[in-house]
Amino acid sequence: MTSPASPVLSLVEDLIRRPSVTPEDEGCQAVLVARLSAAGFVCETIASGGVVNLWARRGTTAPLAIFAGHTDVVPPGPRDQWRTDPFVPTITDGKLYGRGAADMKSSIAAFVVAAEEFVAAHPDHTGSIGLLITSDEEGPATDGTVKVCELLVARDQKPDFCIVGEPTSATAFGDTIKNGRRGSMSGKLTVKGKQGHVAYPEKARNPIHLVAPALAELATTVWDNGNEYFPPTTFQVSNFHSGTGATNVVPGDAVIDFNFRFSTESTADGLKARVQELLDRHGLDTQIAWSLSGLPFLTPKGTLCAALTDAIAAETGVTAELSTTGGTSDGRFIAQICPQVVEFGPINATIHQINECIAIADLDPLKNIYRRTLQTLLAAQP
């Protein structure tokens, strides 16, 4: 159980009080800098495009184990629907309410206190500890984690291990570790036809009719079979726009928005090529505007997964399962420079919702899991 005097609880309450809606940080990172500096971390603020990022490191040698997270939160929505003010941390029935309680200010507080406790117990620890914190995860994610990763590459300071504090637990705290995420790529397909009168179809070319067979084939194509960690790649149409609104006009074009969620068995370029080949085979006059929002990443069973799984079991008695389900996270950027990246955090049942909350009883165990994992990765005795 987390005691009322828990440093994790005190810190997360302080963070929730700060209305850090993307891309604002509202002083959250300054609070972290003060604490981490006192623990011997060298802290650096990296600003880009109105976004503030924090890179903190203690130690100069390998291995470099880092925690990553975000101080920004999504807007609270209608405040009159919250049982309490979303930016006034409130404890009711053993739960802490407030925007960011689960996603992901509790994880950040647990990171910081875990690092403080580890350093206090092991002031001469081997390797290095880092924290990468951004205020641009819930938004465009163009000036946040990706910018810090670029800087670390330029400095040749690539991490060896990374835990992203996303709320991954599903039904019981500790039940799920995300050891990868599917890639996400969208396309805006324009199919060109010829506008005309519906009574004279021979003088028109209906793009809806033309694309229908190709669209049916796209929807039923097996893109890959997935693997031990990933389900098969999926294709979904999200929007279909065509026509003038009149019932007697054949449209001149059709615009179709679609998305791939793809596994490591497929590549972005490979999917693009297969789509274009299919459309060409159907004899369509098309244009596609592609948008790649994230590449897939995977951390197979190994050092980091084992260390985190063991820490969860020791602290909670729960055997965590590895999963790659869900959307994208900043892990997609870190995985480009770090060989082992996983996500682990509290129960995600209320994230982005009215009355977001976290069980008070999970706060100290979360911190202890992070600390135990650090001890294993940096070969320190408990």
User: Which residues define the annotated binding site?
Assistant: 70, 103, 138, 166, 352
Q: Which pair of tokens denotes residue 28?
A: 């959250």
Strand stretches in 15-110, DSSP E: 42-48, 51-58, 64-70, 90-92, 95-97
Q: Can 116 be counted among the known catalytic residues? A: no
Q: What is the DSSP letter of 73?
A: B
CA 323 – CA 343 distance, rounded (Å): 10
CA-to-CA separations, 129 to 114, 146, 188, 370, in angstroms, rounded: 11, 19, 42, 12
CA 168 – CA 175 distance, rounded (Å): 8
Residue by residue, DSSP assigns 203-234 as G-B-HHHHHHHHHHHHHH-------SS-PPPE
Question: Which amino acid makes up residue 51?
Answer: V
Q: Can 72 be counted among the known catalytic residues? A: yes
- In the set 25, 72, 330, 362, the catalytic residue is 72
3-state secondary structure of 34: helix
CA 143 – CA 275 distance, rounded (Å): 31
Edge-to-edge strand ranges of the sheet holding 253-262: 234-242, 253-262, 183-192, 286-294
Residue 191, phi-psi category: left (phi > 0), alpha (psi -120 to 50), beta (remainder): beta
Q: Which pair of tokens denotes residue 62?
A: 């390998």
- In the set 137, 143, 362, 364, the catalytic residue is 137
Buried b (16+ CB within 10 A) or exposed e, 179-217: bbbbbbbebebbbebebbeeeeeeebbbbbebbeebbee
Q: Which residues carry a binding-site annotation for Zn(2+)?
A: 70, 103, 138, 166, 352
CA 14 – CA 31 distance, rounded (Å): 9
Q: How many CA atoms lie within 13 A of 72 on its CB side?
A: 23
Residues designated catalytic: 72, 137
